[in-house]
Amino acid sequence: MKRLFALFALLAVSLPTALTAQSSMPPAPYAYTQLEDPAQEQIARDLMETLRCLQCQSQSIADSDAPVAGDMRHQVRTRIAAGESPEEIRAYLISRYGDYISYEPEISATTWPLFVLPGILVLLALIVLLRRVGRVRE
Amino acid sequence: MIPEIGLAALWLAAALAALQLLAGFIGARHDNAEIASLARPAALLQAILCGVAFLCLLYVFAVTDLSVKLVATNSHSMKPMIFKLSGAWGNHEGSMLLWITVMAIAGGAIALIERRLPEKTMMATLSAQSFVGLGFYAFLLIASNPFERLTEIPPEGNGLNPLLQDVGLAFHPPTLYIGYVGLSIAFSFALGALLTRNVTPDFARVMRPWVLAAWIFLTIGITAGSYWAYYELGWGGWWFWDPVENASLMPWLAATALLHSASVLAARDALRTWTIMLGVIAFSMSMVGTFLVRSGILTSVHAFAVDPQRGSFILALLVLYIGGALVLFALRASTIAEGERFSVMSREGALVVNNVGLSAILGVVLIGTLYPLFTEAFDVRVSVGPPYFNPVSAIFFLPMMLVLMVGPLLRWKSDNAGRIMKPLALIGAVMLTVLIRSLFYEDIGLLPFLGLVLAAGVAVASVAPLFGRSLRRTPLAIWGMCVAHLGIAVAMFGMAADTAFQKERLVAANVGDIVEVGPWTGQLDTVNAVAGPNWTAMQANLTMSYEGGPGQEAHPQSRNFWTPVMETSEVALLTRWNGQLYVAVGNQGQDGRWQLRLWWKPFVTFIWYGGLLIALGGALALVGRVASDLRRRRHADEEDMEDELAEATA
């Protein structure tokens, strides 16, 4: 819930001039408006929810007030409208900003423990607890 | 003068904690009743002194005493009084003072009230409680003194983060803290039981109401925090798997598991070591959360000030307490007998699944939260967010829900499924109906779909234990369980319905433009400027109507605070029984049009109603348990008197 906070914390400490500079810059057209076609908008929306806002603590670009998130929403929407597939756009953004930009969990050399560790924990818990389960002596 | 009184009270309280540690330890170790008799008064006096210190802090914030560094950096004379007071815990030092105060009061409460345990175990428990307390006193007094004075008094304070200037937020931290820190009691009880090798059903019955009380507050705190994020952040989200949210969810998961395993221990004398383990883990998660939030490792509104010295201090406390408790556990666990056995098809069997499921989700959340921090140390930046947490935790959550439907209907020790076929058939029929109905909705996503079906099943199953019972004779604790489980169903329904059926509309609108979202239509009537005590705002005035009904006014604002300078979004909510219309206004574009964001969120309010029902269920169970305990005690007293009478007449 505190994803915006990082941004706000940043804004709070940055100079007031930064604020005015930011609000005097017009946001890109599709930062705050949807695509005409609801189906395309849905695809864009689904993609945006899995992309990380670079300026915030832990927010997707789909719900961030940060200017950079607005720019990225514009990018995503115009590219979707131009017919690019979500995975092409994700690949482009990853090539530009790094893996960090994507929330989509992919099992890779750096993320495999995320998927293996919970499984190990469950096995351990099961072993501990199942030792308590046995036939009840009548 | 007042700040010095507060500081003196804190030092005295710390000294008393040291006394309590020694008295409790010697009392438990050597059966020295004289020394042991010091422990309870020390705990009580400590609670009072911490209360005094906290009142002193409230006072300096209330009068905006700018000679106190904490007030000067975090408050402002122009703030409304409620935010001056809530500002007292809206910063690092104040919140740590709140932490230690809650901890001292919790310790004082068990010292005053709890007399059911063997005195040795009680002494060990009080000793453990003060041992943990001492570390936090040290942290407060050495690294985060809230009463520090300034030599040069500034003319005005820096103000409080505007996001925190909200009535909901004024009460969110104390509520959460009572839950968070209240779990220290479970930790101390667990250590006390381990130290004196006294893990019995009686011990579980003693610990349970204390854990329950903390858990109720934790539940309310998380629910309130979620609603606050929902309306304050301006994008309609209610759970983000943010590390700070996870920090509050992890102790909740552990405490929920603990409550269920404690009921197995209390009723059947099984799961002894497991219950102790959970008692240790629950408060450990509170401390891990505090470390994450306060060390500056995460940047967030909760981080307040980044200070590496504090981070290492908390980390040291963490290693000392969690490590120490785990070592003690490892040494002692094998000396505690395993307890009764049971078959898989039994109440215990179902509760074991509940415990494995909750622990697994706890593991997922913990790993998902810590892993990015871990890889960052090796310069690998990884993002772990909702696309990881949602499906991975659902893998454990959904089967748990299936077991939740069956478990409360089963008997202890051993049962067969044939006995409960009737209610199971009813639950199955309801789920099947919802399943078939839900197939007609297009693209609602797998998780929301399963959520809808399971919510229906859990809703029916939650009241199934009441079937065939005399409702008036049903114990309150059973009612509590049913209400809490119903709350799970209600919250799950809200989450699934909102995710599946939410409608979103982002538009740039001129005054007079028609806006539509889902079943709502309306128009942007006017936009005007408004001013508050420490902010100005642009307010959009909309008239919205639901399916052509009467117009309802919505007034979202985009606020600019000036101490400190910051923009926030003040959303307008139109609540109906079947959902909420959520309206936020952004900036004005160069073409003069206003950014409007509208969401129709069907049944979204059920998420928080569900959370409150869960807490209410806990409260019912707590009242039931305490009442029956008091009744038992009264009977025991009467029997004693009868015995004495009989002896006297003989």
Give the pLDDT score at B16: 95
In Å, what is the CA distance from B258 to each residue of B264, B265, B401, B529? 10, 10, 18, 52
Give the pLDDT score at B647: 67
- Residues B241 and A52 sit within 8 Å (Cβ to Cβ): no
Three-state SS string over B203-272 comes to HHHHHHHHHHHHHHHHHHHHHHHHHHHHHHCCCCCCCCCCHHHHHHHHHHHHHHHHHHHHHHHHHHCCCH
Residue carrying the six token digits 């998927």: A115
> Largest Cα–Cα distance of chain A, in whole Å?
80
Interface test with A, best of B92, B228, B299, B378 (most A CBs within 10 A): B299
- Residues B211 and B247 sit within 8 Å (Cβ to Cβ): no
Position A32 pLDDT exceeds 70: yes
What does the alpha-carbon distance between residue B345 and residue B281 come to, in Å, rounded to a whole number? 27
What does the alpha-carbon distance between residue A65 and residue B161 come to, in Å, rounded to a whole number? 17
Task: Look at residues B598, B597, B596, B601 and name the one whose alpha carbon lies nearest to residue B580.
Answer: B601
Task: Look at residues A8, A137, A100, A64 and name the one whose alpha carbon lies nearest to residue B567.
Answer: A8
- Residue in chain A closest to B235 (alpha carbons) equals A63
Give the pLDDT score at B32: 79
Residues B559, B560, B562, B563, Cα dihedral to 10°: 50
pLDDT tier, B299 (very low <50, low <70, confident <90, very high otherwise):
low
Residues B34, B40, B41, B43, Cα dihedral to 10°: 140
Rounded to an integer, the average pLDDT of B605-624 is 96
Beta carbons of A136 and B343 less than 8 Å apart = yes
Position A24 pLDDT exceeds 70: no
State how far residue A105 is from chain B, nearest Cα, in angstroms: 6
What does the alpha-carbon distance between residue B79 and residue B76 come to, in Å, rounded to a whole number? 6
Position A18 pLDDT exceeds 90: no
State how far residue A138 is from chain B, nearest Cα, in angstroms: 10
For chain A, list the strands marked E by DSSP: none
Q: Highest-confidence range of B85-89, B148-152, B161-165, B426-430, by mean pLDDT? A: B426-430
Position A7 pLDDT exceeds 70: no
Q: What residues does each domain of chain B span?
A: 1-165, 201-407, 416-501+605-617, 503-602
- Residue in chain B closest to A32 (alpha carbons) equals B506
Beta carbons of A125 and B344 less than 8 Å apart = no
Give the pLDDT score at B650: 58
Q: What residues does each domain of chain A span?
A: 14-105, 107-138
pLDDT tier, B78 (very low <50, low <70, confident <90, very high otherwise):
confident
What does the alpha-carbon distance between residue B428 and residue B422 come to, in Å, rounded to a whole number? 10
| Least confident range of B146-150, B167-171, B451-455 | B167-171
For B345-472, list the strands marked E by DSSP: none
Give the pLDDT score at A19: 38
Q: Which residues of A touch B508 (CB under 8 A)?
A: 32-33
- Residues A24 and B267 sit within 8 Å (Cβ to Cβ): no
- Residues B297 and B373 sit within 8 Å (Cβ to Cβ): yes
| A104 touches B at CB < 8 Å | yes
Position A20 pLDDT exceeds 50: no
Who among B300, B386, B392 is closest to A2 (CB)?
Answer: B300
- Residues B277 and B187 sit within 8 Å (Cβ to Cβ): no
| Least confident range of A69-83, B170-184, B284-298 | B284-298
Residue carrying the six token digits 């899995």: A50
Residue carrying the six token digits 């705002």: B537
| A18 touches B at CB < 8 Å | no
- Residue in chain A closest to B505 (alpha carbons) equals A34
Give the pLDDT score at B306: 55
Beta carbons of B300 and A50 less than 8 Å apart = no
What does the alpha-carbon distance between residue B70 and residue B221 come to, in Å, rounded to a whole number? 25
Which residue type, as a one-letter code, is found at position B288?
V
pLDDT tier, B179 (very low <50, low <70, confident <90, very high otherwise):
very high
List pLDDT tens digits, range B369-414.
988 888 877 877 788 888 899 999 998 999 899 999 998 988 888 8
Beta carbons of A129 and B233 less than 8 Å apart = no
Residue carrying the six token digits 């209240």: B182
List phi, psi (to 5°) of B520: -95, 140
Task: Look at residues B75, B131, B98, B82 and name the one whose alpha carbon lies nearest to residue B6.
Answer: B98
Give the pLDDT score at B89: 86
Give the pLDDT score at A14: 36
- Residue in chain B closest to A28 (alpha carbons) equals B589
For chain A, the straight-line distance linking the first and the last C-alpha, in angstroms and rounded, comes to 52
Who among B228, B240, B371 is closest to A58 (CB)?
Answer: B240
What does the alpha-carbon distance between residue B47 and residue B50 come to, in Å, rounded to a whole number? 5
Beta carbons of B367 and A114 less than 8 Å apart = yes
| A46 touches B at CB < 8 Å | no
pLDDT tier, B586 (very low <50, low <70, confident <90, very high otherwise):
confident
Position B445 pLDDT exceeds 70: yes
- Residue in chain A closest to B380 (alpha carbons) equals A110
State how far residue B153 is from chain A, nearest Cα, in angstroms: 22
Is A14-105 CATH 3.40.640.10? no
Position B588 pLDDT exceeds 90: no
Task: Look at residues B271, B250, B249 and name the one whose alpha carbon lies nearest to residue B260.
Answer: B271
Which A residues, 68 through 97, put their C-beta within 8 Å of a C-beta on chain B?
none
pLDDT tier, B307 (very low <50, low <70, confident <90, very high otherwise):
low
Position B456 pLDDT exceeds 90: yes
Beta carbons of A63 and B587 less than 8 Å apart = no
| Least confident range of B59-63, B95-99, B144-148, B298-302 | B298-302
Residue B433 CB coordination number (10 Å): 12
Beta carbons of A114 and B237 less than 8 Å apart = no
Position B449 pLDDT exceeds 70: yes
Secondary structure class of B620 (helix, strand, coil): helix
| Close Cβ partners of B550 (under 8 Å, ≥ 6 residues apart) | none
| A60 touches B at CB < 8 Å | yes
- Residues B2 and B59 sit within 8 Å (Cβ to Cβ): yes
Q: Which residues of B touch A121 (CB under 8 A)?
A: 359-360, 363, 367
What does the alpha-carbon distance between residue B378 and residue B383 come to, in Å, rounded to a whole number? 14
Beta carbons of B226 and A1 less than 8 Å apart = yes
Rounded to an integer, the average pLDDT of B275-302 is 81
CA angle B542, B567, B86 (to 5 degrees): 105
For B571-613, list the strands marked E by DSSP: 572-576, 579-588, 594-602
- Residue in chain B closest to A7 (alpha carbons) equals B300
Give the pLDDT score at B296: 64
ipTM: 0.75
Who among A16, A32, A135 is closest to B343 (CB)?
Answer: A135
- Residue in chain A closest to B365 (alpha carbons) equals A118
Beta carbons of B385 and A50 less than 8 Å apart = yes
Who among A32, A64, A135 is closest to B508 (CB)?
Answer: A32
The two three-digit tokens of residue B593, written as one number: 């049009």
Q: What percent of chain B has pLDDT over 70?
A: 97
Residue B447 CB coordination number (10 Å): 17
Burial B402-415 (b: 16+ CB within 10 A, else e): bbbbbbbbbebbbb
| A38 touches B at CB < 8 Å | no
Rounded to an integer, the average pLDDT of A102-117 is 81
Find out whether the peptide bond into B564 is cis, omega within 30 degrees of 0.
Answer: yes
Average pLDDT along chain B:
88
What does the alpha-carbon distance between residue A37 and residue B649 come to, in Å, rounded to a whole number? 94
What does the alpha-carbon distance between residue B11 and residue B146 come to, in Å, rounded to a whole number? 12
| Close Cβ partners of B402 (under 8 Å, ≥ 6 residues apart) | B454, B457
Q: Which residues of A touch B233 (CB under 8 A)?
A: 1, 3-4, 63
List pLDDT tens digits, range B196-254.
888 889 899 999 999 999 999 999 999 998 998 898 888 888 998 888 889 999 999 99
| A11 touches B at CB < 8 Å | yes
Give the pLDDT score at B253: 96
What does the alpha-carbon distance between residue B27 and residue B117 come to, in Å, rounded to a whole number? 14
What does the alpha-carbon distance between residue B313 and residue B304 come to, in Å, rounded to a whole number? 16
Interface test with A, best of B245, B301, B390 (most A CBs within 10 A): B301
pLDDT tier, B284 (very low <50, low <70, confident <90, very high otherwise):
very high
pLDDT tier, A121 (very low <50, low <70, confident <90, very high otherwise):
confident
Rounded to an integer, the average pLDDT of B347-374 is 89
List pLDDT tens digits, range A57-107.
667 888 787 788 888 898 899 999 888 899 899 888 888 888 888 887 777
Q: Which residues of A touch B368 (CB under 8 A)?
A: 114
- Residues B11 and B18 sit within 8 Å (Cβ to Cβ): no
Give the pLDDT score at B649: 65
Residue B399: Cβ-neighbour burial (10 angstroms; 0-12, 13-18, 19+): middle
HSE-up of residue B180 (Cα within 13 Å, Cβ side): 28
